[in-house]
Amino acid sequence: MTRSDAICPLEDFGTLRFRGPDASSFLQGQLSNDVTQLERGSILRAGLHNPQGRTLALLWLASGGDRDILALLPLELVNVVATHLRRFQLRAKLTITDESAQQRIYGRHAPGDTTSPDSWSLAPGRALLLRTVDECAPPGEPMSRTQWRALDVAAGLPQVYAATSAQFVAQMLNLDCINAVSFSKGCYTGQEVIARAHYRGRVKRRLQRFESLAPCSLAIGDSGRLEDGRAFRVIELVQRSDGCSEFLAVAPLPVASHEGDEESRSSAEQSVNARALPLPYALPD
């Protein structure tokens, strides 16, 4: 990376705006994280789940000013998420607006502090900025989407796309490890299943980081099998110029038994020679 700020247009992301006096309380009853902890200048990650605890989408929440809350998420899921949430709106005093056509999202990667009045901190050295379509892009050296995605993979940060929506319980995506789940807030859709997994038993399948040792063709949502027999499903990946990939995938933990795992046996489509890479955070015991 360069020593100056690098700017990446996140053209595959869109924006939902929640506006109204009930915006915060409404999202508090729908999302896995504690929305009251949302702070100006910082992104709060939160999952949207179905009653079975499966993650429909992972939202990046940001304060939009005047008590508005912005949700940044993959563009392909914006309409799906908006439609889903409006079913629960009932008499809540808020509007849910898709502003994806009016806003552009940029990622900023900087060697030092990324805090500024017009950005939200996403991770150490990384921030998000929002510009209208009529505004110029933020100043900085160009950064490709692949380079930005590589930072996510290295940091063990999942994202949910159409190909992986409603496939995994929060803990399988390590949402409990990246501060995207609160176990002390009130109820929300899917909370029972997620809390049960947290308090009553170890999760046998988790998001893990891998590097293929030979060229392979993988895409987000693809299933396969590691050489040790464990089945996996790709959550995020980058492909290098040599054809090899570094990727995040949900797979049984190395010490977990594979017996009785019907999904593992039926979903594998290709064998991949890969080695495990460390995550920058510890998985729960």
Full-model pTM: 0.92
Do the strands 245-252 and 205-212 form a parallel or antiparallel pair, or are they unpaired? antiparallel
Per-residue pLDDT for 93 more than 50? yes
Could you give the CA distance from residue 163 to residue 55 in angstroms, rounded to a whole number? 12
Q: Is the pLDDT of residue 180 over 80?
A: yes
Q: Is the pLDDT assigned to residue 264 strictly greater than 80?
A: no
Sign of CA dihedral 244, 248, 254, 259: negative
- Rounded Cα gap, residues 220 and 167, in angstroms: 13
Return d(Cα 13, Cα 60) in angstroms, integer.
10
Q: Minimal CA–CA distance to 7: which of 152, 159, 148?
A: 148
Q: Is the pLDDT of residue 257 over 60?
A: no
Mean pLDDT of the residues in the chain: 91
For residue 114, count CB atoms less than 10 angstroms from its CB and return exposed for 0-12, middle for 13-18, buried for 19 or more. buried
Average pLDDT over residues 44-56: 97
CB 112 within 8 A of CB 124: no
d(CA 40, CA 52) in angstroms, rounded, equals 32
Of the candidates 174, 185, 158, the one whose C-alpha atom is nearest the C-alpha of residue 30 is: 185
Q: Are 20 and 95 in contact (CB under 8 A)?
A: yes
Greater model confidence, 269 or 245: 245
